[in-house]
Amino acid sequence: WKLAPDLWPALTTPTRLSSFLAMKRKKLDGQVCEICGDEVGLTVDGDLFVACNECGFPVCRPCYEYERREGSQLCPQCKTRYPRLKGSARVEGDEDEEDIDDIEHEFNIEVEQNKHKHLEEAMLHGKMSYGGGPDHDNNAQFPPVIAGVRSQPVNGKFPISSYGHGEQMTHSSLHKRVHPDPISEPAGSESWDEKNEGGWKKRMDDWKLQQGNLGPDDINDPDTAVIDEARQPLSRKVPSAPSKINPYRMLIAVRLAVLTLLLRYRILNPVHDAIGLWLTSILCEIWFTISWILDQLPKWFPIDRETYLDRLSLRYEREGEPNMLSPVDIFVTTVDPMKEPPLVTANTALSILAMDYPVDKISCYVHDDGASMLTFESLSETAKFARKWVPFCKKFSIEPRAPEMYFTLKIDYLIDKVQPSFVKERRAMKREYEEFKVRINALVAKASIVPPEGWVMQDGTSWPGNNTKDRPGMIQVFLGHSGDLDAEGNELPHLVYVSREKRPGFQHHKKAGAMNALVRVSGVLTNAPFMLNLDCDHYINNSKAVREAMCFLMDPKIGAKVCYVQFPQRFDGIDSNDRYANRNTVFFDINMKGLDGIQGPVYVGTGCVFRRKALYGYDPPKGPKRPKMVSCDCCPCFGHRKKLPKYSEHGANGEAANLQGVDDDKELLKSQINFEKFGQSAIFATSTLMDQGGVPPSSSPAALLKEAIHVISCGYEDKTEWGTELGWIYGSITEDILTGFKMHCRGWRSIYCMPKRPAFKGSAPINLSDRLSQVLRWAHGSVEIFLSRHCPVWYGYKGGKLKWLQRIAYVHTTIYPFTSLPLVAYCTLPAICLLTDKFIMPPISTFASLFFIGLFISIFATTVLESRWSGVSIEEWWRNEQFSIIGGVSAHLFAVVLGLLKILGGVDTDFTVTSKAAHDEEFGDLYTFKWTALLIPPTTILIINLVGIVAGVTDATNNGNQAMGLLLGKLFFAFWVIAHLYPFLKGLMGRQNRTPTIVVIWSILLASIFSLLWVRIDPFVLKTKGPDTKQCGDNC
């Protein structure tokens, strides 16, 4: 502080100085945080909260905690790392810091009373400066003020201050503890704000000048509040309420304890007359317990997130200035227009072109892996209709912006509409869309009959994709040329058709190969720094979805380390009961929230916005190195301290030197990059160095298109790292899981974004056969990953960048199909017990029954509490439990077998695309029965349990009431299996409960087998070892 000279004699002792410091901190109550505008507040001891002990820049505790936890951990003013204060949680970087805070012991009377009086004098004569400079006004060196101009984008980062050339930092300046004080000084001194250049207010204005937010004439600008709002974080984490999550965690611990006691009881009490059944059940229960633990651990820290779209606009979309939002390339993939109707793909493309984002920053790439002329022509019609649809959506703020979904919504479409012309224009647009549908339907009808000579284009040339397995690469830009305007004369986004080259003898890697081709094509043509990938049936339901993602990816504090933002999948056209758990809400609303609290959600294949740099195999940027602790020769050091680095007279000092070093490291990194890993394309390799995207201005469109054709040739990936380290990773049909796993292993984190209005919506197979085929494909991919070199059990330990809870989540993601083996055995045990009159447990005592009662109560209680913090209903949880058993005994079992056949025998499985055609009747496809071998195992389990129930009841009736007690346990076991398979049973029955012929044949066959088994067992005959000749003689 600047003190009047007459106060110096009164403060010449450390005791009086300490008292004065306490008095000053109490007077500072009410000081305002310069980041959020709230009061700074007090500490738990009643003193003023001081975040930075070096410069005393006023920051409240919430902003201090946020900066330490999510930001750079540096003071905005002096760039000193924030110390860990009393009551603050430890964060990364605190491990090497001392447990004793310097400020609490700087005036230690016993230690320093006779040794360090010159430090006290330095404290008394010190003045506030940026980083603690020399003590005298005439020699004070302030960092140069960077007068920001309003046309520059606000990046939210604080410039690093530097000292003058050759300037030396003294010990006294390094140990100042100065706090800016806006209140009046004691009697005899002037007001703080009336001091010349040392006034706090002027210093704060100078600090804001550095950020580019204020000009010399804008200090009293009324827009300052708006600018300050733009500097706030674009998002925030919302941890689950302690009142909801803490009881849940306690019950999880209780449930684990009950499971441990129950398993101990089961192991210590074997069934000697049914040792095989008992051992099988014990092994199954141990596996189920391990699987439950693997599933439960990643859900320990669930969080929600909030985004602030208004702050995003204030920061990057200032009125009268160029829009600074980052461009986005959007990928849509399709392969078979007969299973993925062109109208569905067209609606997805239209929703992309009309979304709420600057049109010059949107590029939509539709990849047709089937090279179908039907898809090509339908996309041409889509481009024509978009010229009318896009301005209509933006004029009236239509939601959703997929016309098929908008015109079929059963809601009042006049809500919030005030323009008188809306009704008239909506009717005209609906007529336009119906005519568009008719044209698409005509193309589909035409494509149903393939001409013998193949398809011919309008100019008379043969369609290049007539031979789908031997075709050249094709690119057609439908929208994006100069002069492409909509009906109202506005610019339209890019719309590009892409079909990669395919030749016999080359491995094309299915969807992963198509996605990598899109990455390279977009890198050559538009090279946006971010990419959104969507399935052809997933339209944009929330026009601001990309803005939601940008709140994380463009956040100056956390964005640089975020590799992708994953949105939950939501679906249309699912029956209200969700018989086969198509919505998958347990995974998307529970598991993914838990992962977001660790290192981020897994990538699920669609609805994900990527950072292009992360897909190129780069590591995330390293956080700023915290300043080394300073030690002087005149004071005792508490604990381990690091020496002050030496400053060269011929180099830049302070953080400026560090910043220069970072730039040098980046240039060195670029010089060491092996561009051959990207392939033989100089233009594409150059684009990988452009962090902010864009294409070289000297390149002509014709040259770029020629290069784009080159990068999608089938031999381009030879001798490169595509599919191994770059782009989507090959080796599994679930390339999404593998790609996200590789990014997390490099140290990236991902974000889970759940806006109130679902970002994307798609279609899901709602009939039993298609649903099981879909689950089979997912499970087969997980088995492939588990049996590959990328298995999360042993992959990715180098560098230790994958958090252990995240690793557990990936282990469970790849190992869950193997649960089908014990599950099939466990679901068969009730029938065997009923048919053989054996049981897996001995008669239990009243005390032992408490274990089972406690288990069921804990299961019910954890389900209820999980529903509270996640929002998932009990009914949805039960549907998920049912289908986990149905899929476990069918699709997962087949996935394990197919995975082992591929690894051991080299037998590859070709999966077909799931049909996405909508049924004419609502939920009509729900009752469609398609025979598949996946139905055999659950059908068999159902029948043997039903036969077992009949046999068990008959046997108990024949033997009297003595066997009824044990029978109840067996019947409960069997009904547990049947209750979980009940949706499967309803699926077999169809709409009018008429069982298909094939199922009847299987039922008769299986019933005959178990009837013969029943006769062989013959339970109606009393089981004896032979006649007792002592009682009834030889003629007994």
Instruction: Report the amino acid identity of residue 467.
Output: N
Q: Of 486, 555, 578, 736, which residue is the catalytic one?
A: 736
Tell me how far apart the alpha carbons of residues 646 and 756 are, in angstroms, rounded to a whole number. 54
Helix (H, G, I), strand (E, B) or coil at 333: strand
Closest CA to 493 of 562, 438, 439, 540: 540
Q: Can you state the percent helix, strand and coil of the chain, rounding each to 5?
A: 50, 10, 45
Q: Which residues contact 539 (CB under 8 A, 6 or more apart)?
A: 347, 348, 351, 400, 401, 402, 405, 760, 761, 762
Buried b (16+ CB within 10 A) or exposed e, 944-953: bbbbbbebbe
Q: Of 369, 486, 837, 925, which residue is the catalytic one?
A: 369
Strands of the 328-334 sheet, one edge to the other: 474-479, 494-499, 362-368, 328-334, 530-535, 608-611, 562-566, 749-752
User: What are the start-end ranges of the H helices in 787-841?
Assistant: 804-815, 820-836
Task: Tell me the C-alpha to C-alpha distance, in Å, between residue 652 and each of 360, 622, 647, 660.
Answer: 41, 22, 8, 8
DSSP string for residues in 600-616: -PPP-SSSEEEEHHHHT
Task: Tell me the C-alpha to C-alpha distance, in Å, between residue 174 and each of 55, 545, 628.
Answer: 10, 48, 12
Here the tokens at position 874 are 């009990």
Helix (H, G, I), strand (E, B) or coil at 330: strand
Q: What is the CA radius of gyration of the chain?
A: 35
Tell me how far apart the alpha carbons of residues 851 and 857 are, in angstroms, rounded to a whole number. 10
Q: Which residues contact 640 (CB under 8 A, 6 or more apart)?
A: 96, 98
The yes-or-no answer on residue 596 being catalytic is: no
Q: Which residues contact 190 (CB under 8 A, 6 or more apart)?
A: none
The answer to whether the CB of 556 falls within 8 A of the CB of 763 is: no
Closest CA to 182 of 167, 203, 213: 203
Query: For strand 328-334 and strand 608-611, is the pairing parallel, antiparallel, or unpaired?
Result: unpaired
**Residue position matching structure tokens 């930092």:** 169
Tell me how far apart the alpha carbons of residues 630 and 643 are, in angstroms, rounded to a whole number. 6
The answer to whether the CB of 549 falls within 8 A of the CB of 565 is: yes
For residue 758, is the peptide bond before it cis, meaning its omega torsion is within 30 degrees of 0?
Answer: no
DSSP E strand boundaries for 55-141: none
Helix (H, G, I), strand (E, B) or coil at 329: strand
Here the tokens at position 267 are 């192991």
Closest CA to 174 of 660, 628, 626, 623: 628
Helices (H) and strands (E) in the chain, counts: 35, 13
Query: For strand 235-239 and strand 539-540, is the pairing parallel, antiparallel, or unpaired?
Result: unpaired
Instruction: Provide the Cα torsion 908, 909, 912, 913; round to 10°.
Output: -80
Tell me how far apart the alpha carbons of residues 421 and 866 are, in angstroms, rounded to a whole number. 48
Q: Rounded to a whole number, what is the largest CA-CA distance in the chain? A: 130
Instruction: Provide the Cα torsion 586, 591, 592, 597; round to 10°.
Output: 140
Classify residue 272 by its DSSP letter: G
Instruction: Report the amino acid identity of residue 158.
Output: F
The yes-or-no answer on residue 736 being catalytic is: yes
Backbone φ and ψ of 160, nearest 5°: -85, 125
Please, what is the Cα angle at 91 between 86 and 92, to 5 degrees?
145
The answer to whether the CB of 519 falls within 8 A of the CB of 679 is: no
Residues serving a catalytic function are: 369, 736
